[in-house]
Chain A
Amino acid sequence: MRCWLLLLCMLTLLAICCKLDVEQAAQGRVRVGIVYDIGGKDDKSFNTAAWQGVERAKKELGILLRDVEPGDPTSIEPCLRAFAERNYDLIIGVGFAQSPLVESVARDYPDLRFAIIDSHIPLPNVASLVFKEHEGSFLVGMIAARTSKTGKIGFVGGMDIPLIHKFLVGYEEGARFVRPDIQVIPNFVGITDAAWNNPSKGKELAKSQIDKGCDVIFQAAGNSGLGVFDAAEESGKLAIGVDSNQNWIKPGFILTSMIKRVDVAVYNTVKEVVQGRFKGGVHLYGLENDGVGFALDQYNKHLISDELLAELEQAKQKIVSGEIKVTDYMAK
């Protein structure tokens, strides 16, 4: 027994040494570390978008990429610190939940560069990548209201936090903009971070909304949203995807996706570091720079009419010009 344990320890040490070799081999290349949100990089939504951003940077800019999927919230900070101790050139925290952690690590390492997605950290060495989710949600709200036959549409949010209310408020305003009498039924999966990884509950919420008469449901719930797609397929209703283009997941049952170009934001930030023009502060992505929007591809072309597209384009222009004001829940 003891023999085996000893062997195990030695193997572990060996593995660590090999790892160090790899680190040294990276000399000269820009090293980027990214720590995903609790949903994991395979949520086909928010984290996947961040992953696509760094992957693109790896291919095009030749950076050395290290990524971590924390198993639980308590392992996020050690991961961030591990990158900082190794003097990574850019350390990216994905998601609002990492905001206080990135802030405290960035304070301890003022010479290193950090990026945080979905939050604002007022430090000179942190780039805050924030999105106008309310504007994109406004447009998909319009699509939902124009498509609904019953006059009732649903919303399934993941964790009940202000950021997700930002999606909800934009969605409601967009729906009311084209159809003032529309009824929006909002539900949330939960109040802890487990709410991002509970597709069964997402499906139950969607089913209850369908039972109440909803025929279009917008989900902003990470992995839990995949259950919403299942419910839509089972009952022959429509769902709206979020963050990434999710139209391909259940072709014909996904009306559109509210795209949030986390990938572009992440890629741009890495590029700035590589080109030596990294800037801290807020980097805002909205309709005006295609940071948010809705997805239109071969899977949902037949679901959205040309008149609606024209109407959406018009609304988009008006939002950009400030003629239509969409409430930002988090600005209140």
Chain B
Amino acid sequence: MELISILGSTIRTAVPLVFASLGGIYSERSGVVNIALEGMMLAGAFTAAAVTAKLHNPWLGVLAAALAGILVALVHAVACINLKANQVVIGTAINIMFVAVPGLLSGALFDSTGSTPQLAREETLATPLVYAAFLAVPLSWYLLFKTPFGLRLRASGEKPEAADTAGVSVTAMRYYGVLASGLLAGLGGAYLSIGQNSLFTRNMTAGRGFIALAAVILGNWHPLKTLAACLLFGFAEAVSIRMQGVSSIPNQFIQIIPYVLTMVVLSGFVGRVSPPKALGQPYIKERR
């Protein structure tokens, strides 16, 4: 009984991380740092809840969340790929922006100041999104490592000059990578607002975008290993929840379990991580 309860909790906690970290993999494999996952998740979470509240159809909510994620990703892509801005700075700007944007829009749409109306339980959509997350992992692995498209995308992140010489459009590949990350992070956000919960509240991602990024690094930019990392985080969280209040260990120690686990795993078991070589470098043609 306890085991089933922990497993359920692990999966529910891991789903938004799986979506967002897969998104992170696409973007970073193509050579664009994406710390804007948090902002993209918030955009998706808000849009999903807002559209569902207006149209009473969670499927449309999910679709809209994916589009919202892509739209935010487009901003990131234009700034990072075309305008060659610093990718970390742009990502941070997007994250800060999406603390405020949902508040602004919810005021206009629902006359509230940061949250969407409570949805009925029939209007939430948890299970299909859970399946989608776990299906997206092998699909992404296949796409990235077994298809010509995946090879081109990874080449743009490893050695864009070589990809360019071989006739691959680095710009296009990076656009695909960043937009895919927006789509997936948007879905992760949708799971938070209309899957797990039944409304959007201010900053409801609570740092999950950054934990997803840690999962990407822990999983060495590989979908299957990243899935394992997400499940590990989910498991640590589930266990720490169940240890709280039962043992005599001070609460603060139990709360840090997921983070300590991350550090231990990162430093001891993963070995050297190897990020894509051209990660974070804007590609400028003809530069020697």
A residues neighboring B (CB under 8 Å): 39-44, 51, 69, 71-72, 160, 185-188, 190-191, 194, 197-201, 203-205, 207-208, 211, 223, 226-227, 230, 233-234, 249-250
- Residues in A with CB closer than 8 Å to B61 are none
Q: For A42, give its contact among B112, B196, B206, B246 (CB under 8 Å).
A: B112
**A226 → B minimal CB distance (Å):** 6
**B185 → A minimal CB distance (Å):** 16
Q: Is the CB of B204 within 8 A of A198?
A: yes
- Residues in A with CB closer than 8 Å to B2 are 211
Q: Is the CB of A249 within 8 A of B118?
A: yes
Q: For A43, A200, A201, which residue has the most chain B Cβ atoms within 10 angstroms?
A: A200
Q: Is the CB of B242 within 8 A of A208?
A: yes
Q: For B202, give its contact among A208, A223, A249 (CB under 8 Å).
A: A223
Cβ-based interface call for B36 (8 A): no
- Residues in B with CB closer than 8 Å to A191 are 251-252, 255
- Residues in A with CB closer than 8 Å to B203 are 194, 197
Find residues 1-22 in chain B having any chain A CB closer than 8 Å to their own CB.
1-2, 5, 8-9, 12-13, 16
Q: Is the CB of B204 within 8 A of A199?
A: yes
Q: Is the CB of B197 within 8 A of A226?
A: yes
In the bound assembly, the distance between CA atoms of A71 and B241 in angstroms comes to 27
**B90 → A minimal CB distance (Å):** 15
Given A71-B96, A187-B244, A194-B203, A40:B103 Cβ within 8 A:
yes
**B255 → A minimal CB distance (Å):** 5
In the bound assembly, the distance between CA atoms of A42 and B114 in angstroms comes to 6
Q: For B13, give its contact among A43, A199, A204, A230 (CB under 8 Å).
A: A204
Find residues 160-219 in chain B having any chain A CB closer than 8 Å to their own CB.
192, 196-199, 201-204, 206-207
Q: For B204, give its contact among A185, A186, A211, A223 (CB under 8 Å).
A: A223
Q: Is the CB of B244 within 8 A of A188?
A: yes
Q: For A211, give its contact among B5, B113, B192 (CB under 8 Å).
A: B5
**A247 → B minimal CB distance (Å):** 13
Q: Mark B87-115, 1 if CB is under 8 A from A, else 0.
A: 00000000010011001001000001111
Q: For B9, B115, B202, which residue has the most chain A Cβ atoms within 10 angstroms?
A: B202
Q: Is the CB of A199 within 8 A of B201?
A: yes
Given contacts A43-B115, A204-B241, 15 further A-B contacts (CB under 8 A): A39-B202, A40-B103, A43-B202, A185-B246, A188-B251, A191-B251, A198-B206, A200-B12, A204-B9, A204-B237, A204-B238, A223-B201, A223-B204, A226-B199, A250-B118
